Structure 1
């Protein structure tokens, strides 16, 4: 028998597991670890959404199998959100499907549309499912620059001219996880025009649509004329309404891609628990002041974190969106790489962060810091980090071995 199954062989060891193991050992030893590694919202789900869940769950009829593509009211609510927020009209019957979080939708659509050996274009660094959803499905991935600018557009052109076979799909994700980059509508227009010309599908991950800190809200790629000819967009309630464990997301856009995903899901699941879908409908249709409160909360945490890191001598760009800071490893530790530096930060400062290499090899110069603790804990983390950076024993460790990056 083979040592490892074919698809598992294409998946490298989960690099976050190394830091998670060290974090668990430290906590087992009684250490107070401030966890800024996982993008796991710590705020409670708004009360009116929870109340609707409780109300719906009292009806025994909701305990039966649900609808894989999402109950009709939920799909209409998502279409209403797109109309209000982006001015985009969607047909709830043919252009919307509910998913078990955006991650599930991305992976199942990749499985639905990918043939073995297909070439897929994915920014590097990016959220792991963006590339591994397609790798699991048998595709090959070609990396693009992660910045929404001429560098990515030029790399797109090169990929079409020099990839064999020609690329079949492109992933975009703005506001981005992990880099926090934002794209504007003009960038999307150029991407859509290019991909329409060359027959390339676009999958846009817009999970952080509502977490932005400037005056202009991030656009949807579906706002571009003709985008629905080739594009589908994934959204999620996880971050917008602090509902990560509820696993409620959506895909919207091109009817052919939506049909493919719907058909795939019909074989794999019966949809989210109906009371969750009912409560998700209430989230989209109900009062939205909770979204602004969430945005204000992350802005306050961002400012505390970035200013504190800069005061400690760690120059980290202030993100304009998402719930993450994409932090370049301080120069005197740069030789360590992101896994070894994350372990060192955990050991010396008692702060857990996500190593950048977990998002692609081009992320190894950075770590991702999540804004998932209150300002009191963030300030404690900053004191610890300042002490670590300024301590006499904070000299660089030995260069990381190759095994640290596996």
Structure 2
């Protein structure tokens, strides 16, 4: 058999290697403390589950769900955005449901890029941001995110020849993996930059609620309320602990939403209607559970940061997300995957190697705050013993 050349760009997957390493450690008898995947361990709210449960006995929810049938969900999403960010949204033309925000970031390059076109993506970044570019036959231009720049790209450093061929800029703040927040004035500058160079700005936005310190995280649509050239992707996985339900949506420029629907239509239908009924309950009801979720992750952040600092690790508390992003000791500065695979093999503690998020991520590791404080302390203690033994 002969396979498509595009797969060559997708063959490296450190998360697949970490999955194998975790399986081998489990088979060797190690209990796994898995802090490598940002999948919340907190329960989905009862009223959300009840809305889904009630749908199960309704035969009208059992068939394929086409776009017209998603209007109640799209209206709930539009209303949520307007309440939260003060941005007016047309549920009919400016919202489309997604099977998680990851689906949107992977599909939007298919709607915009011709083979050889550039997309400007962050480095480090979430893997689907570049994966979608490769599938569309495009070229990613990696914008380095450095600590000295507050993990914001320096737009003026992008070469002119790249901009001539570019169609898309992909951003994500609060940022996975660095946990950085972009201020509204950065988004305003990014929108102006995209206007100047005729780019679409796609913003992956699954963490707007998981902000611990300072001002709320802004939406890119607050910098582009007319939605001239922006689209934003939201997921219910984090704020509402609904990761396994795979529900999210895109809001943005009506023409771009239409093209995204066009791409999505040839790939399949929408989620089960009952899941969208649960999502409507989450978005439309009281938001007390969201606040409680944020507090739980804040407490976990403080525990993990304090435990690392007690071990002598120079780490600062991140302002947002469910992650701690920190440099490795010098010995592993060029081999974060090697550190993580050996750590899980010897201790059962699984964390994410920075190299999985791009070249600029090498030398870092990412902890996901998806276990209770006692497990976090145990993980740090085991990691400290592993490092001490190795050194």
Greater CA drift, 134-143 or 17-26: 17-26
User: What pairs with 1:42-121 in structure 2 (closer than 5 Å)?
Assistant: 42-68=41-67, 71-121=70-120
Look up the SS of the partner of 1:39 in the other structure: coil
Inter-partner Cα distance in structure 2 for 1:47 and 1:132 = 35
**Cα contact 2:150–2:180 (8 A) shared by 1:** no
Look up the SS of the partner of 1:38 in the other structure: coil
Inter-partner Cα distance in structure 2 for 1:70 and 1:224 = 31
User: What pairs with 1:136-215 in structure 2 (closer than 5 Å)?
Assistant: 136-146=135-145, 152=152, 154=154, 156-159=155-158, 161-163=160-162, 165-215=164-214
Inter-partner Cα distance in structure 2 for 1:375 and 1:227 = 44
Query: Which residue does 2:322 correspond to in 1?
Result: 323
Unaligned residue ranges in structure 2 (runs of 5+)? none
Query: Which residue does 2:261 correspond to in 1?
Result: 262
Query: Which residue does 1:311 correspond to in 2?
Result: 310
Query: Which residue does 1:339 correspond to in 2?
Result: 337
Query: Which residue does 2:354 correspond to in 1?
Result: 356
TM-aligned CA deviation for residue 355 of structure 1: 0.8
**Cα contact 1:96–1:250 (8 A) shared by 2:** yes
Deviations 1:231-253 (A, max 9, x none): 00000000110000101011001
**Cα contact 2:26–2:348 (8 A) shared by 1:** no
**Cα contact 1:134–1:140 (8 A) shared by 2:** yes
Query: Which residue does 2:24 correspond to in 1?
Result: 25
Query: Which residue does 2:247 correspond to in 1?
Result: 248
**Cα contact 1:69–1:265 (8 A) shared by 2:** no
Query: Which residue does 1:41 correspond to in 2?
Result: 40
**Cα contact 2:151–2:180 (8 A) shared by 1:** no
Look up the SS of the partner of 2:325 in the other structure: strand
Inter-partner Cα distance in structure 2 for 1:153 and 1:164 = 15
Inter-partner Cα distance in structure 1 for 2:160 and 2:212 = 38
Inter-partner Cα distance in structure 2 for 1:44 and 1:273 = 20
Greater CA drift, 14-23 or 99-108: 14-23
Unaligned residue ranges in structure 1 (runs of 5+)? 396-406
TM-aligned CA deviation for residue 205 of structure 1: 0.5
Deviations 1:296-319 (A, max 9, x none): 010000000011011112222311
Inter-partner Cα distance in structure 2 for 1:179 and 1:138 = 28
Give the TM-score of the pair, scaled to structure 2: 0.95
Distance 1:164 1:293, change over 3 A: closer
**Cα contact 2:344–2:350 (8 A) shared by 1:** yes
Inter-partner Cα distance in structure 1 for 2:138 and 2:8 = 14
Query: Which residue does 2:370 correspond to in 1?
Result: 372
Inter-partner Cα distance in structure 2 for 1:30 and 1:141 = 41
Look up the SS of the partner of 2:142 in the other structure: strand
**Cα contact 2:214–2:319 (8 A) shared by 1:** no
Look up the SS of the partner of 1:380 in the other structure: helix
Greater CA drift, 186-195 or 18-27: 18-27
Inter-partner Cα distance in structure 1 for 2:116 and 2:193 = 22
Inter-partner Cα distance in structure 1 for 2:323 and 2:96 = 28
**Cα contact 1:147–1:181 (8 A) shared by 2:** no
Look up the SS of the partner of 1:71 in the other structure: helix
Give the TM-score of the pair, scaled to structure 1: 0.92
Query: Which residue does 1:398 correspond to in 2?
Result: none
Deviations 1:263-315 (A, max 9, x none): 11122222010000111011000110000010001000000001101111222
Inter-partner Cα distance in structure 2 for 1:124 and 1:385 = 26
Query: Which residue does 1:383 correspond to in 2?
Result: 381
Inter-partner Cα distance in structure 1 for 2:21 and 2:146 = 32
Task: Tell me how many residue pairs correspond in the alignment.
Answer: 390
Aligned-pair RMSD on alpha carbons?
Answer: 1.8
Inter-partner Cα distance in structure 2 for 1:69 and 1:161 = 43
**Cα contact 1:323–1:371 (8 A) shared by 2:** yes
**Cα contact 2:121–2:140 (8 A) shared by 1:** yes
